[in-house]
Structure 1
């Protein structure tokens, strides 16, 4: 799935003409005419010269650069790149994906450059290979106090309220799966 296929991005694109005064194609033409390639240059043009808000400017810039580079990177390529230098963590990733897939057919995996987002009606977690020997399982469990393996994650990631550090396939214990299931249930 490409960036433009994300439901939140689709909503932004639907609102783009009303919020910025131009369609995505018109913004692409303007950026192309200025021969801008770097993200920062595009952001400066959109925000500084045209008063586009940061969120819309960032979305336009990302989509323009994605299109200029030949389209979005395939999901499997993003995952492959995440584990290229951390192959010992790939079996753990595969186990997590299988476990979360067993929760229900409504689970969506959305690979990004550095992690894989886990979604249902909304995001309930992320899988991130943080070091060569540690994977972080970020979970959205708002209001849940830290407990045992469950670490409050505010300082780690603004995307998740908690995280669990995993070191190898043997780390996928019933307790970890229980926390993952709770996050999944809360996102429904």
Structure 2
């Protein structure tokens, strides 16, 4: 379990007086068929925020990344049908890991989270033809290949889209390094 999840679980108990295991029992007793039904129930009936409702929903269905023992399987699933984008991921990760020994690589179901004390980037095969780098660069104006993400509750503030390993330039590595350096 990573530190972010541990903190959420501690706060879940502090905020509700119930442990994750107790909430999972409550949710399973309702026999919900869909993730969205669980979210609605927890938000409307128990005043959960989206983050806590999502955590309980994922854990109760066993569909979160933390419920998977082999993290390599998560990455393999991400690139199923998008195998041509995997070398791009591999090259980026190799470059990113050179920034420092304090990087946590945390594969999820749809992307890979990169963290220091906090998340600084995500790597994701977004579509069959587009690879997306999400970056946390709060306050940075979009410029060049760096696009702002202006959606509420976005996990990142900016993104860079790529389609091929040849698209990885020093500019991209510099943006990744800047996000890494801010994540203290």
Query: Normalized against structure 1, the TM-score is what?
Result: 0.83
> Structure 1 residue 155: deviation in Å?
4.7
TM superposition shift of 1:43:
3.3
Asked whether the equivalents of residues 154 and 160 of structure 1 are also in contact (C-alpha less than 8 Å), the reply is no
Which has the larger displacement, 130-139 or 16-25? 16-25
Aligned counterparts of 2:49 and 2:94: Cα–Cα separation in 1: 39
Q: Say which SS state the counterpart of residue 142 (structure 1) adopts.
A: coil
Per the alignment, residue 79 of structure 2 pairs with: 83
| Structure 2 residue matching 1:80: 3-state secondary structure | helix
Deviation string for 1:54-74 (max 9, x for gaps)?
Answer: 43332222111118xxx4363
* Counterpart pick for 1:24 among 17, 20, 24: 20
Task: Find out whether 1:135 has 2:125 as its counterpart.
Answer: no
Secondary structure at the residue paired with 1:160?
A: coil
Taking the TM superposition and a 5 Å limit, the aligned residue runs for 1:147-166 are: 147-155=143-151, 158-166=154-162
Displacement of 1:169 in angstroms is 1.1
**Partner residue of 1:121 out of 106, 111, 117:** 117
- 2:177 maps to 181
The alignment partner of 1:110 has SS state of: strand
Q: Structure 1 residues 146 and 32, CA, compared in 2 at 3 Å: closer, same or farther? A: closer
Distance 1:17 1:174, change over 3 A: closer
Decide whether the 8 Å contact of 1:37 with 1:65 is kept in 2. Answer: no
Find the counterpart in structure 2 of residue 97 from structure 1: 93
Distance 1:86 1:170 in 2: 16
Q: What residue ranges of structure 2 are gaps of 5+ in the alignment?
A: none
The list of structure 1 runs, each at least 4 consecutive aligned residues, that deviate by more than 6 angstroms after superposition, is: none
1:88 CA drift (Å)? 0.9
Distance 1:59 1:131, change over 3 A: closer
Please say which structure displays the higher CA radius of gyration. Answer: 1
State whether residues 116 and 126 of structure 1, in contact with CA within 8 Å, keep that contact through their aligned partners in structure 2: yes
- The structure 2 residue matched to 1:43, chosen from 39, 43, 53, is 39
Extract unaligned runs of 5+ from structure 1.
none
CA distance in 2, matches of 1:45, 1:144: 38
SS in 2 for 1:63: helix
- TM superposition score normalised by structure 2: 0.84
